Structure formats: structure tokens, C-alpha cells
């Protein structure tokens, strides 16, 4: 139930945890024996101590309503170490079955997402993730990729399961590409590196194959760097413009407005040049049922989106420019697509293009609103400001949201109220809440189980830990139900139930 609900049902996540706890209490060995095993298990106590840290944070908090909500969300930090450390490890057939149930559940979740993607029944690509956030779903996708690699590497895996693993690997990599999640891409790279090293040191014996793998290690980063250069160069290299020779009239005889002080760039062209608002408004309203002065379907300013889209195609912002758009272009603008390349070349390219534009806006106009990267930079500023003020012990379990609101006001942040969130970085969130002492405590909880015994450094646990550590850089992974359940469930599973598994 728990494995299946991680990507399909937040409600069932809660139900399955209570069911597991009931089984733990009423079935099997006497509860006294289970508690003794838990108390004498040093790793389990270390894991549960993270929840204890949050309890200690109540001593100097003022917002107990938020604190109690936070403690309720993070109950998996206690339940899974308690249950799995005091019960017998799973037999291999049941362990493998559990992993396959999980993989199939993620196939179902991504299949649901893909059906929405094919219907174009969304305004933002993130909306195709239906049950949990697209970032959390991407973490589950990457873990499934690692699990399928585990089955492919294992000689004990039945041939037909190996055969089934290959198309599923392709499917998950394709869906990861579709979601355009930077953290998902980064976690995937981490899994690829770990899998490569695992093969190199444990599976490959032939000197020829090892030489080939070394060549791959050398060549792949060079090719990736070259492709990245080819991607980024057209986005940041601006076509030179002689401001003194700019045309002043449109083909219809109206005046152009040229922005010569604020220069956002799209595909190497300045958005602010050759701008005629009256012609754009009339031409757009003649072709679309959405008001030129309104918003796109994803809530962006339609005029700004249209201007960027025209610029990305090398068109002027006038009647002729709008007339040159085809019907697909009109639909793209209505949906909030600001660069035609982001529609024709989705995935990494589109994500890089949007991120670079957001950062350019932030650097030139100090406008972080609506930009994933630029907003995170503001979150980081506020986090460091709070850490400096509460260095040792932080602000407490319940005061984190209020502390951030105060910090944004005191820093005169340009973030609008609806964009003023917490750190979006788990390491910073812990430090804000519990100070340097809490951060050290948190890092011990993360690394001690892995480093304390070579027996625990299995392939599955290694890839899980890498995914987790990477995910915590751009996200507050354990601050949501889906995130904390993902961490607590698989962390305890791989430590206590899969401890001898490769």
C-alpha cells in the first residue's frame, strides 16, 4: 500500500502508515520485544532523533499551530524507523515484489500524466503531475530508473523481468525529459554516475571493457559540455544593433517605440525594439479570443508573452509580426509559451532557455517574480539573513514561515506576497529552523547510517541517498507529506529490510 501510494494517493500514504503501525502493534512478536530491538538499534535511534530535533524546537517557538502541523506531517520520521528496525528483514522474493509494485505504481502515475500531456490539457507542464508535485514525481521516476538498473545488473533476475526493464527504462527517461525538472535531471545524472562506477568496480572484469568505460568517462563530459555550449550560445549572444539607425515607422505608418534602457533578450534579439502596442493589440484581438490586455492561461501577462514570442521568431512587435504567426503560435502564446523554441524543442533546451531569460530579467531589472531560479536566489538571501540573526539554534519549529515574512520586509525584497516562500533548500531550511547545531545534527542523520557499516553501502541505498542529497539542494524535500514519506520509507527500507541486498 505504501509503495503504491507514494505517487498515486496522499490519502493512502497516511492510511498505509497507520495500517503498518497497527500490524506492528498487534501481530508478530510481543510489542515489548519489538521496542527492545528498536531501542538497541543505534541507527534507528539516530534516524528518529531528527524528529526529536523538531520537538526540541518547540521550546523556543511561538507559532504552535504551525509547529504541530509540521510535526504531524513529519510523523513518518518516527513510524518507519520504529517499525522496520524492529521487524525481520524481507525475504528477497518479497523485497523484489515490493520494488516492482512501486515501479508499476510510478508507471501508472506517469501514464496519467502523459495522457494529460497528449491532450494539452494544461497551462503549465507542472500541471500534468496529478497526485504529487512534479518535482516529487521526478524523484520517484529517477529512483525507479535506479531500481530497474539494479534488476538488470542482478544475475538472479528472471529473463522476462530483465526484458521488461528495458522499455520501462526508456519510458521513465522520456517522462523525465518531458517534465523539464532541473532537480530531476541532476538526480538522473547522479544515478548514471553511481551506476557506471558500480559496473566498473563490481561487474566488469574484462580489461577491454574497462578501457572502453574509461574512454566513455572522458568523452561524455566533453560532448555534454560542447552541446551545452551550442545550446546556451544562441540564447546569450545578442545580435548587434545600431541604435541610431533604428526605423521609426511601421509598415502602416505608425510610430515604433524602442526600449533603449531596459534590454531583456530572447533568442539573441532585444525584446524592447520595434514595439508598436496599438498595432499589436488590434492584430492580436482580431486573431484570439483572449484579451491582449489580460493574462495567458498560465497567469502571465499576455502582452509581455506575445512580445517575447514575436522576438524569439525574429519578428517585430507590430501588425505584420502578429500576422506572421500561425495558429499553433497563437495557441502557444495563449498558453503562456514565451519562446517558440520552447515548444518545438522541449526538455533540457526549453528549461535552459527559460532559466537564462529569468536570470537576465533578475540581473537587469531586479525582478525575480515568476522565475524559478530568480525566486530561489531571493529565498537564499532571506535564509542567509535569518541564519545570521539566529546562528546557533535557529528560530524554532513553528516560527519559520513568520520569520521569512519578516525577513522579506526587512530586506525590502522585490518578491510579491504570493511568491514569498521558504528556502526551497532543505539544508537552509534546517539551518533557519534549528541553527548550525541543527544542520550538523541533520547531516549526521543523513550520513551516519551509510558510513557506519560497509554492509549498508549497497547499490540501491547508494542511489537513493544520492537522489535524496541532490533533491535537497533546490527543494525542501522533507517539508511535505510526499517528500518526507519518500525519504522515511525508502531510507528505512534500504537500511533495515534490504541491508544485505546488492
Q: Is the dihedral of CA 472, 128, 463, 219 positive or negative?
A: negative
The domain boundary, picked from 306, 322, 345, lies at 345
* Residue 391: φ, ψ to 5°: -65, -50
Residue 148 and residue 275 share a domain: no
In-domain check, residue 126? yes
Residue 39 and residue 145 share a domain: yes
Residue 217's pLDDT is 80
pLDDT 10s digits, 225-272:
887 777 667 666 677 778 788 899 999 999 998 986 766 777 778 888
Question: Which residues are CB-contacts of 194 (< 8 A; sequence separation ≥ 6)?
Answer: 146, 459, 462, 463, 466
| Cell matching residue 372 | 524559478
Residue 237's pLDDT is 66
In-domain check, residue 422? no
Read off the pLDDT of each residue in 125-130 and give the average, rounded to a whole number.
86
pLDDT 10s digits, 401-429:
999 999 999 999 998 888 888 999 999 99
Residue 191 and residue 103 share a domain: yes
Residue 191 and residue 247 share a domain: no
Residue 411 DSSP symbol: T
Would you place residue 501 in the very low, low, confident or very high pLDDT band (cuts 50, 70, 90)? low
Read off the pLDDT of each residue in 135-153 and give the average, rounded to a whole number.
94
Cα(77)–Cα(51) distance, integer angstroms: 6
Range of the domain at 254: 243-345
| Cell matching residue 265 | 533578450
Read off the pLDDT of each residue in 118-128 and give the average, rounded to a whole number.
80
Helix (H) or strand (E) holding 270: strand 269-270
Residue 256 and residue 332 share a domain: yes
Residue 120 and residue 21 share a domain: yes
Residue 172's pLDDT is 97
Cα-trace Rg, the chain: 26
Residue 89 DSSP symbol: P
266 bridge partner residues:
269
Residue 185 and residue 93 share a domain: yes
In-domain check, residue 7? yes
Identify whether the C-beta of residue 351 lies closer than 8 Å to the C-beta of residue 180.
yes
Residue 266 DSSP symbol: E
Q: Which of 459, 465, 469, 473 is nearest to 492 (CA)?
A: 465
DSSP H stretches of helix in 255-294: 277-285
Cα(101)–Cα(489) distance, integer angstroms: 14
Straight-line distance from the first to the last Cα atom of the chain, in angstroms, rounded to the nearest whole number: 24
Residue 156 and residue 27 share a domain: yes
Q: Is the dihedral of CA 264, 266, 267, 270 positive or negative?
A: negative
Cα(279)–Cα(254) distance, integer angstroms: 8
Identify whether the C-beta of residue 407 lies closer than 8 Å to the C-beta of residue 386.
yes
In-domain check, residue 413? no
Residue 265 DSSP symbol: E
In-domain check, residue 338? yes
Identify whether the C-beta of residue 1 lies closer than 8 Å to the C-beta of residue 14.
no
In-domain check, residue 289? yes
Cα(317)–Cα(319) distance, integer angstroms: 7
Residue with cell 505504481: 105
In-domain check, residue 420? no
Residue 142 and residue 39 share a domain: yes
Identify whether the C-beta of residue 86 lies closer than 8 Å to the C-beta of residue 41.
yes
Read off the pLDDT of each residue in 296-317 and give the average, rounded to a whole number.
88
pLDDT cut 90: percent of the chain above it: 58
Read off the pLDDT of each residue in 167-196 and give the average, rounded to a whole number.
91
Residue 91 and residue 201 share a domain: yes
Identify whether the C-beta of residue 310 lies closer than 8 Å to the C-beta of residue 271.
no
In-domain check, residue 473? yes
Q: Which of 483, 502, 497, 472 is nearest to 155 (CA)?
A: 502
- pTM beyond 0.95: the answer is no
CA dihedral 333, 339, 343, 349 (to 10 degrees): -160
Give how many domains the chain has, as a whole number. 2
Helix 277-285 to helix 302-312 angle (10° resolution) is 100
Identify whether the C-beta of residue 402 lies closer than 8 Å to the C-beta of residue 390.
no
Residue 224's pLDDT is 78
The domain boundary, picked from 301, 323, 345, lies at 345
Measured at the CA of 368, the angle between CA 363 and CA 373, to 5 degrees, comes to 85
Kindly report each contact of residues 475-480 with a partner whose C-beta sits within 8 Å and lies 24 or more positions away, as own/partner: 475/135, 475/183, 475/424, 475/425, 475/426, 476/422, 476/423, 476/424, 476/425, 476/426, 476/429, 477/139, 477/426, 478/74, 478/77, 478/426, 479/70, 479/73, 479/422, 479/426, 479/429, 480/73, 480/133, 480/136
The domain boundary, picked from 345, 380, 404, lies at 345
Residue 264 and residue 203 share a domain: no
CA dihedral 475, 479, 481, 487 (to 10 degrees): 70
Residue 298 and residue 174 share a domain: no
Amino acid at each position: 500500500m505504501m509503495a503504491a501510494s507514494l505517487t498515486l494517493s496522499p490519502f493512502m500514504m497516511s492510511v498505509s502508515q497507520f495500517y503498518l503501525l497497527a500490524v506492528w502493534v498487534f501481530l508478530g512478536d510481543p510489542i515489548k520485544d519489538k521496542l527492545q530491538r528498536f531501542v538497541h538499534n543505534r541507527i534507528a535511534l539516530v534516524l528518529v532523533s531528527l524528529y526529536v530535533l523538531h520537538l526540541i524546537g518547540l521550546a523556543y517557538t511561538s507559532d504552535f499551530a504551525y509547529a504541530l502541523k509540521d510535526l504531524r506531517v513529519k510523523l513518518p520520521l518516527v513510524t518507519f524507523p520504529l517499525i522496520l528496525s524492529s521487524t525481520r528483514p524481507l525475504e528477497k522474493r518479497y523485497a523484489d515484489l515490493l520494488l516492482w509494485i512501486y515501479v508499476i505504481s510510478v508507471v501508472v502515475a506517469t501514464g496519467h500524466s502523459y495522457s494529460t500531456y497528449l491532450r494539452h490539457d494544461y497551462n503549465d507542464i507542472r500541471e500534468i503531475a496529478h497526485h504529487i508535485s512534479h518535482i516529487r514525481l521526478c524523484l520517484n521516476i529517477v529512483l525507479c530508473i535506479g531500481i530497474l538498473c539494479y534488476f538488470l545488473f542482478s544475475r538472479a533476475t528472471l529473463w522476462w523481468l530483465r526484458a521488461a526493464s528495458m522499455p520501462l527504462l526508456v519510458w521513465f527517461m522520456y517522462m523525465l525529459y518531458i517534465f523539464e525538472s532541473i532537480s530531476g535531471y541532476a538526480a538522473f545524472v547522479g544515478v548514471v554516475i553511481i551506476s557506471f562506477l558500480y559496473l566498473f568496480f563490481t561487474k566488469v572484469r574484462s580489461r577491454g571493457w574497462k578501457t572502453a568505460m574509461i574512454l566513455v568517462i572522458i568523452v561524455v563530459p566533453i560532448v555534454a559540455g560542447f552541446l551545452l555550449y551550442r545550446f546556451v550560445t544562441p540564447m546569450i549572444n545578442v545580435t548587434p544593433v545600431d541604435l541610431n539607425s533604428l526605423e521609426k515607422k511601421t509598415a502602416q505608418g505608425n510610430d515604433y517605440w524602442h526600449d533603449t534602457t531596459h534590454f531583456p533578450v530572447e533568442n539573441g534579439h532585444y525584446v524592447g525594439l520595434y514595439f508598436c502596442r496599438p498595432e499589436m493589440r488590434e492584430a492580436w484581438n482580431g486573431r484570439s479570443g483572449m484579451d491582449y490586455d489580460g493574462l495567458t492561461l498560465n497567469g502571465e501577462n499576455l502582452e509581455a508573452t506575445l512580445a517575447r514570442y514575436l522576438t524569439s521568431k525574429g519578428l517585430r512587435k507590430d501588425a505584420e509580426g502578429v500576422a506572421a504567426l500561425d495558429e499553433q503560435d497563437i495557441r502557444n502564446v495563449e498558453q503562456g509559451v514565451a519562446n517558440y523554441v520552447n515548444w518545438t524543442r522541449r526538455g533540457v533546451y526549453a528549461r535552459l532557455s527559460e532559466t537564462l531569460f529569468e536570470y537576465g530579467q533578475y540581473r537587469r531589472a531586479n525582478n525575480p517574480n515568476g522565475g524559478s531560479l530568480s525566486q530561489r536566489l531571493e529565498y537564499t538571501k532571506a535564509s542567509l539573513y535569518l541564519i545570521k540573526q539566529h546562528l546557533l539554534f535557529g528560530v524554532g519549529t513553528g516560527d519559520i514561515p513568520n520569520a521569512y515574512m519578516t525577513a522579506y520586509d526587512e530586506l525590502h525584497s522585490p518578491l510579491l506576497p504570493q511568491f514569498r516562500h521558504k528556502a526551497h533548500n532543505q539544508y537552509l531550511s534546517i539551518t533557519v529552523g534549528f541553527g548550525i547545531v541543527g544542520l550538523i545534527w541533520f547531516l549526521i542523520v543523513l550520513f551516519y547510517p551509510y558510513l557506519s557499516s560497509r554492509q549498508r553501502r549497497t547499490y540501491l541505498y547508494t542511489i537513493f541517498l544520492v537522489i535524496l542529497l541532490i533533491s535537497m539542494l533546490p527543494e525542501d524535500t522533507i517539508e511535505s507529506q510526499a517528500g518526507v514519506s519518500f525519504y522515511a520509507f525508502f531510507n528505512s527500507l534500504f537500511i533495515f529490510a534490504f541491508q544485505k541486498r546488492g
